[in-house]
A and B are shown apart, each in its own frame.
Chain A
Amino acid sequence: MPRTIGDVILDVDDLHTYCFTRWGTVKAVDGVSFVLREGEALGIVGESGCGKTMTSLSLLKLLPRPVARIVKGSIKLQGEDLVPKSEKEMRRIRGRRISMILQDPQTSLNPVFTIGNQLIEAIQIHHDERKRSLVRRAIDGLKQVRVAAPEQRVDDYPHQMSGGMKQRVVGAIAISCEPKIIIADEPTTSLDVTIQAQYLRLLREIQEATNLSLIFITHDFGIVAKMCDRVMVMYAGRVVESGPVRDIFNRPSHPYTQALLSSVPSMDEDVERLYSIGGQPPALWDLPLGCRFAARCAHAEDRCRQEYPPAVKVGQEHTASCWLAKGS
């Protein structure tokens, strides 16, 4: 069944999440806006420290307290703003409407409880049911992620399973309460290539069956190319370019996106020499006045160092924040 991309389900507008530390204010997310539609897969790409994980934690309001806070902006889930919600209200939303798959199943599963126990824990919060029917639901959950012999595997502990299986269990927990949105934060980096392919295929099948919206947080353009409909490239807390996946790959308009794409070796063709981006991303507590990529950019001009470029429309739904980007 092909996916149908429906109405806007999540609308993030001008989100600012800052961390207030002893050494200064870290502007981890500094004015991020995007929308997510029903049944869509959005990729958020960037290096470590670009704010992609802080963005996803802000959506669930799971920010490390008291250090990090949403200081500005709104997160509208089906029209409802999540920013002013209390912890109690957020607990009704997490898992039930927005859910998350973390990078490393080794650390996201508790080693002293059986996986059945951990699945039930998630289901119990949202379903007030008897033990037996909860176990039933847990087994169904495992079936959905194709764990073989789920009746026996519910009583297993995480250490009795392989990495790929554990990540499936994490997936089962994430979908157990039929959320509308799943945020997958580097879901396959700890898996082997063939297991990664199996897992991505499974996510795609679940998405097609339930018309789920997915947000992939990743640094791997391969996952974006395979799984996503739209991409958002982040650099130093801001979105530098966003658009439909083919536009980003065929006509990258921001020098950072261009540099990233040409620094990745390809499996399908010989590359004489990879482009390498010199230098480091700027420190998030001491950001330059102008474009944050200017110091590493091959095309930087004086204006780039003085003024932050506005987002320019370079194509249908395709925007880039660069002074050199030509509007359409």
Chain B
Amino acid sequence: MSAPVLQVQALKKHFPVTQGVIWSKVLGWVKAVDGITFSVPQGETLAIVGESGCGKTTTAKLILRLEEPTEGHVLVDGQDIHTLKGGALKSYRTTVQAVFQDPWSSLSPRMRVRDIVAEPLVINGDVASDIVKARVAEALDRVGLRPQQANLYPHEFSGGQRQRIAVASALVSNPKLIILDEPVSALDVSIRAQIMNLLVDLQKQYGVSYLLIAHHLATTRYMANEVAVMYLGKIVERARTKELFKSPLHPYTKALFSAALPAHPDVVREEIVLSGEVPSPINPPSGCRFHPRCAFAMPKCAQEEPKDLDMAPGHMVACHLY
């Protein structure tokens, strides 16, 4: 394993809940991300899984520097990105790119494909126009689009091709890390495999790292080297993909896995149906945040927050059962 491209250290992001417009007072805090630590090595994929509201998108925004953290650090190549300014910040923006879920809304309908793909270069770098042109052609080629298609507009493409354009735009500045926010869930079933294979191939060829945000567990199993399970702003379990799918430890991970739909009618899963819904992150439960829904909750779980335990090399779990 090589040096980590991305290191996230005890990262926290709390949003204030306010009342009033001018003399607003803070009523409480939404603890969207509450102390998470992980790292992504070069050329690998880390997946963050969890239900809506668990903080996975806020984490992505913090890494893209679209939000400032309340506490903690995000290091890319050893540099704390939230201290960057001016030129250094611009060059940082070229090293981290993102591909979003819905290629119908993530591509501007008024721009030609070549301008969409070129944008990361034009905005962040001082790149001569003939070099831009060459790099755009190269990026389109990498994702399997023809150079003639550069002059078309997004509406002339199908969903799968649009997502290819989004990937080309993310690749053009030769980033070290690409954040994939549900990259295939808006696409048709027969197209999903095309895009997943493309992303896997590009990673093998260019050694780019991915931070994959997904709720579809099978996608995660196919694409990721390591998986982090988030619940209400915390990472409850983190392990290599094989290890995690073979022996999930945290009750929440187990419940999440048991809720996944089977791939075959004969696959019978142990049914752990979680009662209720994810509690509000404004007033998260005390102790272990999962305890009100957990089948194995003990009195201790309501009082004490569990520590991160290393159960096996690289297998972290935060639960009082272990």
Contact surface of A with B, Cβ cutoff 8 Å: 47-48, 162-165, 192-198, 201, 219-226, 245-246, 249, 259-260, 263-268, 270-271, 273-278, 280-281
6 pairs of residues in contact across A and B, judged by CB atoms under 8 Å? A48-B188, A162-B277, A222-B261, A223-B261, A225-B261, A275-B193
Partner among A48, A195, A266, A276 whose Cβ is within 8 Å of the Cβ of B193 = A276
Q: How many A-B residue pairs have CB under 8 A?
A: 115
Which of B190, B262, B264: most chain A Cβ within 10 A? B190
Query: Cβ of B265 < 8 Å from any Cβ of A?
Result: yes
Which of A162, A193, A246: most chain B Cβ within 10 A? A193
Partner among A164, A246, A260, A265 whose Cβ is within 8 Å of the Cβ of B196 = A265
- Chain A residues with CB below 8 A from B119, complex form: none
Query: Cβ of B66 < 8 Å from any Cβ of A?
Result: no
Q: Once bound together, how far apart are the Cα atoms of A238 and B49, in whole Å?
A: 37
Question: Assuming the A-B contacts A197-B259, A264-B189, are A271 and B222 also in contact, with contact meaning beta carbons closer than 8 angstroms in the complex?
Answer: yes
Partner among B158, B242, B256, B263 whose Cβ is within 8 Å of the Cβ of A266 = B263
* B277 lies within 8 A of A264 (CB): no
A219 shortest CB reach to chain B, Å: 5
B141 shortest CB reach to chain A, Å: 17
B101 shortest CB reach to chain A, Å: 13
B92 shortest CB reach to chain A, Å: 33
* B267 lies within 8 A of A268 (CB): yes
B273 shortest CB reach to chain A, Å: 6
Question: Assuming the A-B contacts A197-B259, A259-B190, A277-B193, are A265 and B218 also in contact, with contact meaning beta carbons closer than 8 angstroms in the complex?
Answer: yes
* B274 lies within 8 A of A194 (CB): yes
* A164 lies within 8 A of B218 (CB): no
- Chain A residues with CB below 8 A from B266, complex form: 246, 249
B52 shortest CB reach to chain A, Å: 6
For window 125-168 of chain B, which residues contact chain A by CB distance below 8 Å?
A: 158, 160
Q: Once bound together, how far apart are the Cα atoms of A163 and B215, in whole Å?
A: 16
- Chain A residues with CB below 8 A from B262, complex form: 222, 225-226, 268
* A222 lies within 8 A of B190 (CB): no
* B221 lies within 8 A of A270 (CB): yes
B253 shortest CB reach to chain A, Å: 12
A66 shortest CB reach to chain B, Å: 26
B103 shortest CB reach to chain A, Å: 14
* B193 lies within 8 A of A267 (CB): no
* B197 lies within 8 A of A273 (CB): yes
Partner among A198, A225, A265, A280 whose Cβ is within 8 Å of the Cβ of B158 = A280
- Chain A residues with CB below 8 A from B51, complex form: 192-195
A147 shortest CB reach to chain B, Å: 12
- Chain B residues with CB below 8 A from A226, complex form: 261-262, 265
* A267 lies within 8 A of B260 (CB): yes
* A195 lies within 8 A of B277 (CB): yes
* A196 lies within 8 A of B259 (CB): yes
